[in-house]
Structure formats: structure tokens, C-alpha cells
Amino acid sequence: MSDVVRLERRGAIALITVNNPPVNALGVAVRQGLLEAFRAAEADAEVRAVALVCEGNTFIAGADIKEFGKPPQAPSLPDVIAFIEGASKPSVAVIHGTALGGGLEVALGCHYRIARGDAKVGLPEVKLGLLPGAGGTQRLPRLAGVAKALDMIVSGQPIGAAEAVEHHIVDELFEGDLVEAGLAYAHRMVEEGRAPRRTGEQTRGLEGADNEALIAARHAEVAKRMRGLFSPLRCIAAVEAATRLPLAEGLRRERELFAECLQSPQRAALVHSFFAERQASKIADLPADAKPREIRSAAVIGGGTMGVGIALCFANAGLPVKLLEIDDAALGRALQRARDTYGASVKRGSLSEEAMEKRLKLVEGVTDYATLAEVDLVIEAVFEDMGVKQQVFEKLDAVCRPGAILASNTSSLDVNQIAAFTRRPEDVVGLHFFSPANVMRLLEVVRGEKTSHEVLATAMAIGKKLKKVSVVVGVCDGFVGNRMIFQYGREAEFLLEEGATPQQVDGALRNFGMAMGPFAMRDLSGLDIGQAIRKRQRATLPPDRDFPTVSDRLCEAGMLGQKTGAGYYRYEPGNRTPLENPDLAPMLEAASREKGVERRTLDEAYIIERTIYALVNEGAKILEEGIAQRSSDIDVIYLNGYGFPAFRGGPMFYADSVGLDTVLAKVKELHARCGDWWKPAPLLERLAAEGRRFSDWQPGQ
């Protein structure tokens, strides 16, 4: 018997235990072990029922994702499950933690299922560009009905154990010890003389609803809402097969569709995104003994857009947080904004009134720095002005206890300079949240020259506590995300001078998969922000460097975006739908004329190359400078903070999949035609020449 799957006889019960840390994924050894154990139980005349349990934190969390794209190894998961389902002795899956993907499919292959009250079950394959490929699309609808199965399979969202009972996915809940609960249930099966109840033979879930209409409606919804995604429509096709075909044929159809997804470039990109996110939490040079400090309370300085959002992150995580403003009036506004933000969630039904009040109690408004003496962490979110930051950090240094961490939410200023305003630069770190801070998952953890290992480890731990995806970045103007977005935004604007409209550029990038086009995005955040950045850049770059001018023209005309009712688009009061701004066309023409550019029609491919390769070229510079630890960290930043489509894996992965030689050829062409903004990054040139990818490059190579 393999060491990842154990079989023990407990009287008449065969107890099969999976032990494959960290998540009991179904690698080849587990598949083999399960098959052997179920076969042995079947062959043992003394065994009358089987209980399947898992060690560690969770039931089987799915297929081993690392095996995707590699040659398949027998036994296949569908074969293992077919054996489990076909066995003559009743079996029960004992679920704790998360039964996901292939894990839930194994449980569905068992004849009965019990789950601990806090367990979750789901089929998240769609998030990896796949569909459940081991019978999930055929067996789940037979139990839960087509509507629920479609919900779970197309969204990939897991559901809680109690809900799983409601939908006949799980038979009953238990509390306490897994093995005891499993053995007790198995004994009951024996005492009651229960026969195997094979999910594949059930029909209840397929009856009594207009399945054709449910499938058609879901099809229409997916075509609209999940545009460009390969696997969701195939998920639906597989469920449809369950409604029309006998089990064996349905399973065959599922397998074909699964294989199509497995081959798709989207699957590779989404699997990359999955591992990239987990990789980002690892810091190469952090010694193992760098223990995070305990954070029991926090404070936020400045209750503006960001400060309030950050304070809410702490309240959401159940941590008390002080919110400091300059005076009572400003504090009143900040606390009201906190209440309004929660109020909107209550109105939407995503938060209860009771939970809102409980969280608001955790946010204490203050105006006196002396009240911060005992907090463990302070995050400054005042105006983006070095003078103001200096005042704040000097005060914090004076009042905060030794060992307290002093963080800044600056989006572009020099964290080393900020650290130097204190006598404890080792305790200073950047924590760059994204707007709205209580919603966006990304957190750039800015590591200053002197930030200590312990403080860095604590910053990562806080990110986790706040349920953020944290990525370590180095100090430079704009860090990783914004430094790259400057390039992208500028090139988008140059396209306007060449002949495009904001609608065309935004449309092309949305078709590429971006959540939002760059101009709609600028209108949302306010055009004045970019103007300030351009001013700063102009001061440091050669005087002959070309800058686009449309945005400045809009600013001069007082069109700053949504907040003024017009920017690149026009907005009706109270409505965020972008409409054509009639004042823009003459500005575009004037901008082109002044540059001596003849306006022409631009195709989508050119729009994509011009903007996305600007990200890639800057990303390569960032990588070589060591501002990001690895190319996948840049991808994580773009996927979680900038609406880059997950099915393309992030800008660096996208470049790798296009081929760095192809990307470089285009960058060189743009360099020759558009000037020095497009100077190829040396790392891009080197890797392209060596036929390599960003993802296999390590610092120092």
C-alpha cells in the first residue's frame, strides 16, 4: 500500500485514509493508493462498508494541478472513481475542510457523504480554465439539479456544508472527530443493511425542471458576462450532456470537453495565475527565523478616500483600528464615510446591519497623536506630499512605542526618504493599498532599504490577515503597478493623437480582456492625478521627450473625468455610463495637427501591442532592477490591481506566451518610429536573443 493512502480494518469497516499534505491533492500516488485500497476492501470478505477520510486540514482539494500539461499517468481519476462507485460495499466520504474539484468528484463517487459543519464543497475547475473532468458535471446535476449544478460549476464558487445538505450533495453534517464520525456512519450503514447508492444511477436531480430552458439561459448569461473565456461554455455543454445522455456517454462527452480545456492556452494562463499568487508570498532572502510581530491593534492617519478604506479592512478582519484626522470636522466626515460605505453593503444585502454596527465599533475616531502610543501598527494615508508625510512621521516617531510598525500608503513617494524622518527606519515599510482599499485584493508591500526582515514578515502576515494578495516591491517612482501603468496610459493617449477615439482604444482593450479601458479608468480616478505625474516626469526627462497632450487639454478645460461630469467621456448626472464627449473631437484634431500627425484608422492588434507591450517593456526593466522579485509577481500585481485578464496570465506571462522575440521585434519597431519611450529593456533583448522566457529568469543570471 502506498504511504499517501492507508487502509485499516476496524471490525467490519475498511477505513481508508488519505495523507498527502498540504491539501491531499490527487497526484498519481494518491490515485493509485485509492484504487488499491478500495480494491482491497472490495476483496476482503470481512469488510461490509468503507469510510474514506483525510488527514490534515482538508479533505481532497482536487486534482494535482502540477500534473496538468504533463503526460497522463494511470490510473486516471475517472477510472478510480468508476471503481469506487461500482463497488459492492457501501462507502461514505467524510468531508472536512474543502472538498474541491476532483476531491468532490471522489466524494460523489462514494455512495454517501457526511460533512463537518464548517466544511465547504465546490467544483472550482472553471477558475483554472477547466471543467470538472472526473464525473462532476454528470454526477452533481443528478443530485443537486441542473440549476444548482450550473451555479456551482460555472461560477466555481464553493458552498457551505449546510447548503450542500439542502441540495442533496451531502447526506448529513457531523461535528467532532472525523474518524469517529466516519466509523459511526459506516456502522449505521451496515446495521441498516444499506446497499451502495450510486450517484450515477440517480435521476431525481434531472427531473421536474425545464432543463433545456435553464441551460439556454445560462448560455446566454455566460456569453455576455464571461466574454472571451474558453471553459465556461464547455462547462455548460458538459452539464447539458448529463441531461441528455446516459451516464457512460455523458462521462465520455465530459472527458472530450475536459481535454479541449486542458489544451487551451487559457488553462495554462490560469494555472500560472494560481501558482503565481501563492509564489508571491515567498520572499527569497527572508531568513526562516524572521518571525512576524503580533499585531493586535492598528491606526490609520488621514481619513480620506484611502484612509477610510484601509481602516475598514482592519475592522473587516476584526482588528480594532484608530482613525486619526486633523480636526473634529474632518474626523466627522471620515467616520460618516465609513458608515456610508458599510451602509451601501447593507443596502445591497451583502452585510447585515448587526455586522455593520459590530465593525463600526472597531473603528475609533481620534484627533490626538498621543492616543497612538500603544498601537502595534500605524498606516499613514495623508496627502501625497513629502512635507506633510515628514510632519506625520516625525510625530509618529515621537509618540509610538518602540517596536510599533510605521507604514505609509504613499503611491509614489520615496519610502527610504520617509523612513529617514524617523529614528527607526528599520520599522518603516510601505503598504500600498489600491482604491477602493476595502475591495481591491492587491497590496504592494514596499520594502525600504532599511526595512527589517521582521517588519517585512509582519507586513506580509498583515496582508494575509486582511485577506489581501501581498506582493513585495522595491522603492522607485510608482513601485511596480503604477510605474508600469504610466507607460500604458501614455501610449494609449498617443493612440488618440494618431487617430483613435477613447471608445476604440477602450473597446480594443476590453476585447483583449481588460476589466476597463484606460480612458474610462482615468475618468474614474480623475485626470488631475495623471497631470501631476506628467509634470514631475517632464522635469526629470530630456526636454525633447514627446508627451501626449490630450489629457492636459481636458484638464485645462476643467474636464477632470466623472467628478466634473466630463473627461474623455461625458456623464449624465448620477449616471456612470460613458457617453461621447462632443468637446473631445476638436481637441483630438488639434493635438494631431500640432504634432503633424495625419489621423488614420488604427486596428485592434496595433492598439493592443502599443499599450500592452509598453507594460511588458517596463516590466522587464523593473525585473532587472530587482524592484520585483520575479516576473510572476508582476503578473499578480496586474491581475489583482489593474484588471488584467486572468486568462492571459498577466502581462509578463502574456509576453512569454507570445514569444519574447516577437515582442522585442515590435518594441524595436516602435522605438524606431516613436522615440525613446520605447528603448528596449536590456533584459528583454537578452532573453529574446537566448530564446528564453521571463518566467525562467532568476536575478543575477
Site for ligand 3HC, rule CB under 6 A? 22-23, 25, 58, 61-66, 77, 98, 100-102, 105, 124-125, 128, 130, 132-134, 136, 275, 278
Q: Which does 400 bind (CB under 5 to 8 A by kind): ligand NAI, ligand 3HC, none?
A: none
Bridge partners, residue 323, by sequence: 300, 365
- Residue 61, binding choice from ligand NAI, ligand 3HC, none, Cβ under 5 to 8 Å by partner class: ligand 3HC
- 98: partner contacted, choices ligand NAI, ligand 3HC, none (Cβ within 5-8 A by kind): ligand 3HC
Which residues ranging from 368 to 427 are in contact with ligand NAI (CB under 6 A)?
Answer: 381-384, 388, 391-392, 409-411
Q: How does 221-252 read in b/e, with b if 16+ C-beta sit within 10 Å?
A: ebeeebeebbbbbbbbbbbbbbbeeebeebbe
Beta pairing, strands 363-366 & 428-433: unpaired
Contact 636, 480 (CB under 8 A): no
| Helix/strand/coil for 384 | coil
Residues of this chain, 272-301, that bind ligand NAI according to CB under 6 A = 301
DSSP 348: H
Of 33 and 133, which CB lies nearer to ligand 3HC in the complex structure?
Answer: 133
Q: Is 480 exposed, middle or buried (0-12, 13-18, 19+ CB in 10 A)?
A: buried
Residue 302 binding result from ligand NAI, ligand 3HC, none, given CB thresholds of 5 to 8 Å by partner type: ligand NAI
Could you tell which of ligand 3HC, ligand NAI, none binds residue 470, using a CB distance below 5 to 8 A set by kind? none
Work out how close the CB of 27 gets to ligand 3HC at its nearest, in angstroms, rounded to a whole number.
8
In the numeric block, which cell numbers belong to residue 56?
Answer: 490534515
Instruction: Using the minimum distance from each CB to ligand NAI, give the nearer residue, 37 or 306.
Output: 306
CA 118 – CA 174 distance, rounded (Å): 9
SS3 sequence of 69-94: CCCCCCCCHHHHHHHHHHCCCCEEEE
Choose from ligand 3HC, ligand NAI, none: what does 301 bind? Cβ within 5-8 Å by kind: ligand NAI
| Closest approach of ligand 3HC to the CB of residue 391, in Å | 40
Decide: is 330 part of the binding site for ligand NAI (CB under 6 A): yes
Query: What's the closest the beta carbon of residue 518 comes to ligand NAI, in angstroms?
Result: 15
Placement of cell 448560455 in the chain = 219
Closer to ligand NAI by CB, 395 or 693: give it: 395
Distance CA 53, CA 92 (A): 9
Least distance between ligand 3HC and beta carbon 295 (Å): 19
CB nearer to ligand 3HC: pick between 462 and 607: 462
Q: Toward ligand 3HC, which CB reaches closer, 24 or 341?
A: 24
> Interface with ligand NAI includes 307 (CB under 6 A)?
yes
Among 27, 75, 160, 304, binds ligand NAI (CB under 6 A): 304
Q: Which three cell numbers stand for residue 334?
A: 471620515
312 near ligand NAI, judged by CB under 6 A: no
Q: Where are the alpha helices (DSSP H) in 627-697?
A: 631-641, 651-658, 660-674, 682-689
- What is the size of the binding site for ligand NAI (CB under 6 A)? 25
Cβ 382 to ligand NAI shortest distance, Å: 4
Indicate which of ligand 3HC, ligand NAI, none lies near residue 161 (CB less than 5 to 8 Å, by partner kind). Answer: none
User: By CB under 6 A, is residue 326 in contact with ligand NAI?
Assistant: yes
Nearer to ligand 3HC, 188 or 282 (CB): 282
Q: Does 323 bind ligand NAI (CB under 6 A)?
A: no
Given the rule CB under 6 A, which of 173-181, 183-191, 253-261, 304-312 is the region that contacts ligand NAI? Answer: 304-312
Sorted by sequence, the CB contacts under 8 Å of residue 299 that are 6+ apart come out as 321, 322, 323, 324, 366, 372, 375, 377, 378, 379
Give the residue numbers annotated as catalytic, written as ranges. 105, 125
Closer CB to ligand NAI, residue 212 or residue 394?
Answer: 394
CB-count burial class (<10 Å; 0-12, 13-18, 19+) for 447: buried
Which option in ligand 3HC, ligand NAI, none does residue 23 bind, with CB closer than 5 to 8 A by kind? ligand 3HC
Rounded to a whole number of angstroms, the distance between the first and last alpha carbons of the chain is: 44
Least CB distance to ligand NAI at residue 16 (A):
51
**Taking the complex as a whole, how short is the minimal distance between the CB of residue 66 and ligand NAI, in angstroms?**
35
Comparison of 89 and 113: residue with beta carbon closer to ligand 3HC: 113
Distance in Å, CB of 405 to ligand 3HC, minimum: 24
**Binding to ligand NAI by residue 526, rule CB under 6 A?**
no
Residue 52 or 521 having the CB closest to ligand 3HC: 52
The least CB distance from residue 444 to ligand NAI, in Å, is 9
Residue 102 touches which of ligand 3HC, ligand NAI, none (Cβ within 5-8 Å per kind): ligand 3HC
Give how far Cα 396 sits from Cα of 310, 312, 422, Å.
18, 21, 8
3-state SS of 432-475 is: EECCCCCCCCEEEEECCCCCCHHHHHHHHHHHHHCCCEEEEECC
Angstrom distance (rounded) from CA 561 to CA 570: 8
- The interface with ligand NAI within residues 432-471 (CB under 6 A) comprises 433-435
CB of 397 within 8 A of CB of 425? no
3-state SS record for 218-284: HHHHHHHHCCCCCHHHHHHHHHHHHHHCCHHHHHHHHHHHHHHHHHCHHHHHHHHHHHHHHHCCCCC
- Name the residue with the smallest CB distance to ligand NAI: 304
307 binds, among ligand NAI, ligand 3HC, none (CB under 5 to 8 A by kind): ligand NAI
Strand ranges for 55-193 from DSSP E: 91-95, 98-100, 112-116, 120-122, 159-160, 172-174
Residue 593 CB coordination number (10 Å): 12
Min. distance of Cβ 326 from ligand NAI in angstroms? 5
594 within 8 A of 552, measured Cβ to Cβ: no
Nearer to ligand 3HC, 97 or 430 (CB): 97
Closest CA to 653 of 624, 615, 601: 615
Q: How far is the CB of 525 from ligand NAI (least distance, A)?
A: 6
Query: For cell 507570445, what's the residue?
Result: 658
Tell me, residue by residue from 332 to 371, as one string, x for binding to ligand NAI by CB under 6 A and - for no binding: ----------------------------------------
| Of the residues 124, 303, 463, 567, which one makes contact with ligand NAI according to CB under 6 A | 303
Please report how close the Cβ of residue 452 comes to ligand 3HC at its closest, in angstroms: 24
| Interaction partner, residue 390 (ligand 3HC, ligand NAI, none; CB < 5-8 Å by kind) | none
Cβ proximity to ligand NAI, 160 vs 526, nearer residue: 526
Residues 6+ apart with CB under 8 A from 217: none
Answer whether 306's CB lies under 8 Å from 437's CB.
yes
CB closer to ligand 3HC out of 274 and 369: 274
- Helices 651-658, 631-641: inter-axial angle, 10-degree rounding: 120
Find out whether 133 and 265 touch, Cβ atoms under 8 Å. Answer: no
Of these partners, ligand NAI, ligand 3HC, none, which one is at the site of residue 250 (CB under 5 to 8 Å by kind)?
none
Q: Please name the residue that has the C-alpha cell 471543467.
A: 131
> Would you state the cell numbers that stand for residue 182, as one nine-digit string?
466516519
Residues that bind ligand NAI (CB under 6 A): 301-307, 324-326, 330, 381-384, 388, 391-392, 409-411, 433-435, 525
